[in-house]
Amino acid sequence: MKNIKIQAIALTLMLYGVTTTAFAQKINVAQQFNYAAQQTNYMLDELKTTDTTGGLVSPRTFENGKFKLVNGNDWTSGFFSGILWFLYDYTKDDKWLKQAQIYTARLTKQQYNKGTHDLGFMIYCSFGNGYRITGDTGYRKVIIQAAKSLSTRFNVKAGVIRSWDHNKDKWTYPVIIDNMMNLELLFEATRLTGDSSFYKIAVSHANHTMINHYHPDFSSYHVVDYDPVTGNVIQKNTAQGYSDESAWARGQAWGLYGYTMCYRETHDKRYLILAQNIAKFIFNNPTLPKDLIPYWDYDDPAIPNAPRDASAASITASALYELSIYSNNKDYREKANTILANLDKSYKAPLNSNGNFILLHSTGHKPAKSEIDVPIIYADYYYIEALLRSKMTAKDYAGR
C-alpha cells in the first residue's frame, strides 16, 4: 500500500513539472552574509522596542502578524545568540561580539536546567559557539555544567536520554529523533574535562537510537517510547509528523546531522554509513521537490499542496557539507550548494520584513496547527551555519 501511495505521489509531482533531479549551483557566501547581517541588524533594532517582561530572552518566530519571543527554558532560546556568534565569526566585527555576549548571558541559568533534553540546542548553540570562537573560560564552565544536567536524564537500562516529561498519559519514557542533536554537548564536555562518562552516554544514546528509530528504508520514527525498568521499546509513533509511519522531514534532517556529527566525534563507521543511508532516503524520495526544499512530511498525501519546511532544508545542507568531507562525495556538497542557492533565491524574505527573520516557509508543528509556513529562528541558524560550513575544511571540523 505504501509503495502504491509513493508511486501516485511521484506521478503527481511529474504532472506538476517537478522532478527530483537537481543541478548544482554556485552560492555567493559574502552576499548572503551581508543580507543576513542587515536583516539581523533590523531585528536587533526591533528587539530594543519589544516587551521582554516575563523572562523573554530571544526571538522564535513571526506568526499571525506577531513577533514572538521565548523564555530561556524554551528549546529554541539559544539559536539567536548562535546566529550572532556566526556573524562575528565571519565578519570579526566587534559589534556582533558584543551582541552575542549579551544574548548568550541571558541563558546562563539554563546550565542547571534538568527538566529538558534540549540543553544541546540551548547551551551549545550559544555558549558552545561562544567558547569555540573566544575561548572564554566562563563559557567552558557553563558547557560542562549543562552536560552534567543533561546527563541526569540518562536511563542506564534503556540506554537513552529521556526527551519529554510532558504527556505522561501518552508516553512512559519518550525519546525523539531530535535528541541526536543534543549529544554534541556531551562529546564536548568529555573533551573539556577528560571525563569519559559524557562520551559514553552520548554513544549509548546514538547506538540505541540507530537500532530503534529507523525503518529498513532509513527513514526515522519521530518518537520511540521505552520502558525505563526493562529497557524495552513500548511503542513507536510521531508527534509532529503526518502519521506514526510517515517520514517527518525535519526528523530526517536531525538524524542526518546527528549521525554525521557522531561520526566526527567517534570515527565509528556505523554512524557514517547510517548518515549516508539517510541522505540516500532523502534524495531518492519521489516527493522531494526539484529545488530540494522538502515538504514538511515526505508522506503527506496532500503533496504537492502541502507546506514546505525550509528549516529541514537548512539543517540538511549544513549536515551535507560535513558529510561530504568524511564521504569524499562531491554530490553531497553539490546538493548542499543547490539547497542554499534555492533558499537564497526563493525562500529569503525581503529586507526589513518577515519579522526580520531570514528565511520564509518553515513548518514547526503542523498537527498542532502551530508555526505553519512561517519564519522560525532555527531555520535561520542552520542556514547561516551552512554558509560558514561551505568554506570549511576537514581541519576546521577537527577543531569543533
Catalytically annotated residues:
118, 178
What does the DSSP 8-state code read for residue 240? Answer: S
Strand 223-226 vs strand 370-374: parallel, antiparallel, or unpaired?
Answer: unpaired
235 HSE (CA, 13 A, CB side): 9
For residue 169, with 0-12 CB atoms within 10 Å meaning exposed, 13-18 middle and 19 or more buried, which class applies?
A: exposed
Task: Locate 344 and state its grid cell.
Answer: 537564497
The answer to whether the beta carbons of residues 300 and 13 sit under 8 Å apart is no
Under DSSP, is residue 365 helix (H, G, I), strand (E, B) or coil?
A: strand
Measured CA angle at 62 (ends 51, 55), to 5 deg: 35
Binding residue ranges: 118, 178, 238, 250, 254
Which residues have a Cβ under 8 Å from the Cβ of 71 and sit 6 or more positions away? 54, 55, 56, 57, 77
Handedness of CA 187, 190, 193, 197 (dihedral sign): positive
Binding residue ranges for substrate: 118, 178, 238, 250, 254
